[in-house]
Structure 1
């Protein structure tokens, strides 16, 4: 089988496919959990809320009085 047959046939696909699979496995092993979709904001993770945001939600639900809210807000800041 001549060397030229490797390129005329579709045999060149297998090394590229193997390289692609190898790269996907390496990324999956070494970057577990470090990828986020592009629409997520950078900086603070979207699943983590700041203490002030939690306090505002509790006040909006009516769990805290205005005095409690103001006191806790001053404690946080």
Structure 2
């Protein structure tokens, strides 16, 4: 529980009103850091794990897929050329 909940009139009377604001700001900073850290960990360990890096950004494989989609090559040629590219 927050330390300044409840009767805090003695803090306000003595000019220490800023302690409550400082405390709230520290809580906000703490949770922001925790959330940012959790998001970075999630991205590092769980994002795009099923797609190998060399397939993800391979322009030759993209061109090959486009040629297959347009009907320039058949399924057998596509499989052969894809296996050649991935070696």
- Computing the radius of gyration from Cα coordinates, the structure with the larger value is 2
TM-score normalised to structure 1 length: 0.40
TM-score normalised to structure 2 length: 0.37
